[in-house]
């Protein structure tokens, strides 16, 4: 035992660092800014990947793989792009014992090298659209790092698509934003606010960036996925042209979009509590843990036998683990699995054997209230149903939390108060100067211009001039 | 059309380069030595990965992820290791705009950084065994590269395990060798010869390396997977120690093992023919393609409708594609899918509709002989059964080829003749000098000391001294 967590209310940031390590999600590595994703954390990432990949494939995308290294000159072809990424680059100057003629950059993102290949592959409108995704590692040199949230190397998927028309590319950008929203809500149980980034916050090289923004339990925002409409910026930089149906040479329209291992951090900080992780059943590495309980030695065999039989029955329907460890009390095991956020615990003791029942304890509802007695005869139906209840329950709880920490503000004072605890929705005139002043004075940035707009017009929360859009303000990770 | 391949018999190497690109498996990239894995090739790799990953998990392994970058000093801790890898390193000297204090190496393999972490994680015998695998990209600076076979960056899995005893680590090394053999034989349909590497061919830092060796259609050998027993070499270099059950501090015993994207090249060169790829059904991205055939426009709708209904019926049981492309003749489509190696083609025309049948054409048996008429009522059973026949058929064919190109030789002259066309099995005294001389004179190396040994003793094929093992000689990729 003695493995206590700092309470969230005392120091959320410390709680986060502790739980990520104690629950075996990740560890610090000897390489500055790089993390080690431990098996438990990696399995969570595998499940995230699988849930996204399924959606990509269902919408016609295919996976491919492009080189880790990018010639430095490629990045320089798109002015905004190189300006945005230059300060964060890791540079390979030597290979095979010799100095390279041109330094190679370790990809911070792959628009440029993929753009180069698309120029080679795309000739005619018949070659379009190109709908490719890549699962890869990328490197962005970071000064201040946090496990999963901001690391020098991270894992992600990056989609890169090319289209014949502006409309199709815009449609793709929004299709992916919807896909990310659907994944966040239905699999990660994270309520997100989809919207457009302001000019100052958009991706370096994009015409428009779209984002899904989530609220963490400390009221701060976490950008959890982005989808970029790149217009013809990269098409022009890399000369990606096609002959259209009228035999006219045209530049393609491109998009790019990504979700990274940061999503693991989002799950931790959306659902976790003072006992540890609370994982959404659809993504949890282990959905159900069976803890056998006995006091007298003679009870042991019967309980273990029943537990094994229960395990075998549940194995085809859920990701279940039977905790047979010797030398640990049931209470210790409860604590251990709670810390790891397993959504459902099944407690099986001699009394349950006699009554043909098993006690199910929900991770998301502490104490008696979260317990239910299941009939052993019905576990194959009851357990998956209960997992769905947990899934819906934690989503509801996160949504309630966000709603309780979001304010429609009509004064700058109210905005300041709001962003100290959560989000503020306020009219914004669109002037980057107002945005910058608010950031300077409150540390809050425009997380997005939400898709969900009231319509009509209002007065800018900062300058009071006419405004046509409501912006979402918050302090961000 | 006009998309002809150089015949294998004319120039096998050229045939390989052409088919890899024409079948859309991979393309050259603008970065020296790095390739782009195109969607078709990447899907094949995904299927390979899935088939291996399933086996790893079934044998108790879990996945994790370690940093891409390794401090240069780490490699230097194991003398043989750094000597073997130093000439092939890519080195990052700058990050975030500044020169690094210590250069970082882009991982060529991860024994060192993982060893460092294991030293941190492993304290007691209770922490053992550690059975971790990683799916990752690695970089080895190569002078002469070939798509999939030898590229500066490649994708692979690398298993790294730590054990309490020598016996357990040896057992793990052999378990993985068996697992690789099982995968190669049963999924990739590649007959392989498992065995031990000679001292000169073993992994830099290993006590013993084991390999599965396959014969390509040009008679050359391709090392297709390796499993290394590392003894306590890395444990001592990284101080990976544990308290055993008697409270004694001991070094752990480690293993490492890997299969890479090179396996794609192995599949291409084991099964491919002058018409293109021949993919094993268990790994093929598309197992079955339906080509609808009509001459008169009025037949079109009925045929397409039947083809779509056939597609829907097959979709739950096999990976099927319906080729509805307009403007291409059935003959052109046949050619196209043959090049891509789809194991089974279903031809559906007006006559088939009338008779309630469909013609199945096997990719591995050309012409009439490979065709069979299936009853439409039974396709859900008949098609998967036929795929199993193809799977077994191409394995048999590859095995026959290898056996026809392998000779038990008793004279050095016979060895020379044999390795010009395939493999030679010959007694070897174990002296590296004989091995080196044979390599120098014949370009053939000891691919392995096969597990399958005749026993007893013989005379070394080179020096004539007493020999206790038979070695497998061949020219290798």
* Bond preceding residue A129 cis, omega within 30 of 0: yes
Residues B129-136 have a mean pLDDT of 98
Tokens, residue B35: 């390739």
* CB distance A227 to A180 below 8 Å: yes
Residue among A41, A66, A92 minimizing CB distance to B106: A92
Of B328, B259, B264, B257, which Cα lies nearest the Cα of B291?
B328
pLDDT value, residue B4: 83
Token pair 């079955």: residue: B288
Reported ipTM: the value is 0.96
Going by pLDDT thresholds of 50, 70 and 90, the confidence category of residue B454 is very high
Tell me which residues of chain A, numbers 398 to 457, contact chain B at a CB-CB cutoff of 8 Å.
none
Is the CB of B24 inside 8 Å of chain A's CB atoms? no
Looking at A272-349, list the stretches that DSSP marks H as alpha helix, in order from N- to C-terminal side.
Answer: 297-314, 330-339
A138: closest CA among A260, A282, A283? A260
Nearest to B192 by CA among B206, B204, B182: B182
Q: Is A177 on the interface with B (CB under 8 A)?
A: no
Of B31, B39, B89, Cβ closest to residue A63: B39
Partner A, chain B 291-310, Cβ-Cβ below 8 Å: none
Give the residues of chain A that fall short of pLDDT 50: 1-2
B104 interaction partners in chain A (CB closer than 8 Å): 31, 90
Q: How many residues does chain B have?
A: 477
Residue with tokens 């409108």: A125
Is any Cβ of chain A less than 8 angstroms from the Cβ of B327?
no
Q: What is the DSSP letter of B199?
A: G
Q: How close, in Å, is residue A351 to chain B by CA atoms?
A: 32
Shortest distance, CA B46 to any CA of chain A (angstroms)? 9
Distance CA B294, CA B292 (A): 7
Long-range contact list for B35-40, CB < 8 A, 24+ apart? B35/A67, B35/B145, B35/B147, B35/B148, B35/B151, B35/B153, B36/A64, B36/A65, B36/A66, B36/A67, B36/A117, B37/A64, B37/A65, B37/B155, B37/B261, B38/A64, B39/A62, B39/A63, B39/A64, B39/A132, B40/B285, B40/B340
| Contact assignment for B96 to A86 by CB distance below 8 Å | no
Quote the CA–CA distance of B303 and B306 in Å, as a whole number: 5
Q: Is B44 on the interface with A (CB under 8 A)?
A: no
* pLDDT score at B242: 98
Backbone torsions φ then ψ of B440, nearest 5 degrees: -60, -45
Using the 8-state DSSP alphabet, how is residue B373 labeled? E
In this predicted structure, what is the pLDDT of residue B399?
A: 98
Q: For residues B285 and B287, what is the distance between their CA atoms, to the nearest angstrom?
A: 6
Q: Of A223, A228, A181, whose CA–CA distance to A78 is shortest? A: A228
Contact between A153 and B87 using a beta-carbon 8 Å cutoff: no
**What does the pLDDT read at residue B3?**
63
Say what the pLDDT of residue A1 is: 41
Q: CB distance A96–B141 less than 8 Å?
A: yes
- Is the pTM here over 0.80, yes or no? yes
From A67, A86, A91, residue closest to B29, measured CB to CB: A67
pLDDT for B2: 45
Q: Using CA atoms, how far apart are residues B95 and A90, in angstroms rounded to an integer?
A: 4
3-state secondary structure B241-291: EEECCCCCEEECEEEEEEEECHHHHHHHHHHCECCECCCCCCCCCCCEEEE
With an 8 Å Cβ cutoff, is A60 touching chain B? no
Nearest in space to B393 (alpha carbons), one of B420, B362, B349: B362
Closest alpha carbon to B476 in B184, B193, B182, B218: B218
Contact B64 A38 (CB under 8 A): yes
Nearest CA in chain B to A45: B64
Inter-chain residue contact B36 with A66, CB threshold 8 Å: yes
Q: What is the pLDDT averaged over residues B407-432?
A: 97
End-to-end CA distance of chain B, in Å? Answer: 32
Q: What are phi and psi of B337, to 5 degrees?
A: -75, -30
- Ordered by where they begin, the domains of chain A are 12-271 (3.30.930.10), 288-386 (3.40.50.800), 406-474 (3.30.110.30)
List the single residue in A46, A74, A90 with the smallest CB-CB distance to B92.
A90
- Which residues in chain A have their CB less than 8 angstroms from residue B121's CB? 27
pLDDT tens readout for residues A153-184: 999 999 999 999 999 999 999 999 999 999 99
Q: What is the pLDDT of residues B78-117, one digit of tens each?
A: 889 899 999 999 999 999 999 999 999 999 999 999 999 9
Q: What's the pLDDT at A3? A: 63
Nearest CA among A476, A63, A19, A2 for reference residue A273: A19
Searching chain B, which residue's CA lies closest to the CA of residue A130?
B39
- pLDDT > 70: percent of chain B: 99
């Amino acid at each position: 035992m003695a493995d206590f967590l700092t309470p969230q209310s005392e120091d959320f940031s410390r709680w986060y660092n502790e739980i990520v390590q104690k629950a075996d999600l990740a560890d610090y590595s000897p390489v500055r800014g790089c993390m080690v994703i431990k098996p438990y954390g990696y399995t969570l990432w595998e499940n995230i990947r699988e849930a996204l990949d399924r959606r990509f494939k269902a919408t016609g995308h295919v996976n491919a793989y492009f080189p880790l290294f990018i010639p430095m000159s490629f990045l320089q072809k798109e002015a905004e792009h190189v300006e945005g990424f230059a300060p964060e680059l890791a540079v390979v100057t030597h290979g095979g014992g010799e100095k390279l003629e041109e330094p190679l950059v370790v990809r911070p993102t792959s628009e440029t090298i993929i753009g180069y290949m698309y120029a080679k592959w795309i000739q005619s409108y018949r070659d379009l659209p190109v709908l490719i995704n890549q699962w890869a590692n990328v490197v962005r040199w970071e000064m201040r790092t946090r496990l999963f949230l901001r690391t020098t190397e991270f894992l992600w998927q990056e989609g890169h698509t090319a289209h014949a028309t502006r409309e199709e590319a815009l449609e793709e950008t929004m299709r992916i934003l919807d896909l990310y929203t659907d994944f966040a809500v239905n699999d990660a149980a994270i309520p997100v606010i989809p919207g457009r980034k302001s000019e100052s916050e958009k991706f370096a090289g994009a015409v428009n960036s779209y984002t899904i923004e989530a609220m963490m339990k400390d009221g701060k925002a976490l950008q959890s996925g982005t989808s970029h409409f790149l217009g013809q910026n990269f098409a022009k930089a890399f000369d990606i042209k096609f002959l259209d149906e009228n035999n006219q040479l045209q530049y393609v329209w491109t998009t790019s979009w990504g979700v990274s291992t940061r999503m693991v951090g989002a799950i931790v900080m959306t659902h976790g509590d003072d006992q540890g992780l609370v994982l959404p059943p659809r993504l949890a590495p282990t959905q159900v843990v069976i803890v056998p309980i006995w006091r007298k030695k003679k009870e042991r065999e019967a309980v273990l036998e029943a537990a094994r039989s229960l395990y075998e029955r549940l194995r085809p329907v859920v990701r279940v683990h039977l905790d047979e460890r010797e030398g640990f009390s049931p209470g210790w095991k409860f604590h251990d699995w709670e810390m790891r956020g397993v959504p459902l615990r099944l407690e099986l003791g001699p009394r349950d054997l006699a009554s043909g029942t098993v006690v199910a304890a929900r991770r998301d509802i502490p104490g008696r209230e979260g317990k239910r007695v299941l009939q052993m005869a019905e576990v194959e139906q009851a357990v998956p149903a209960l997992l769905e209840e947990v899934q819906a329950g934690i989503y509801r709880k996160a949504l309630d939390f966000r709603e309780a920490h979001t304010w429609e503000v009509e004064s700058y004072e109210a905005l300041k108060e709001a962003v100290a605890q959560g989000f503020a929705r306020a009219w914004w005139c669109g002037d980057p100067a107002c945005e910058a002043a608010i950031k300077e004075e409150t540390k809050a940035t425009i997380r997005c211009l939400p898709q969900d707009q009231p319509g009509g017009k209002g007065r800018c929360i900062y300058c009071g001039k006419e405004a046509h859009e409501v912006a979402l303000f918050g302090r961000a990770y």
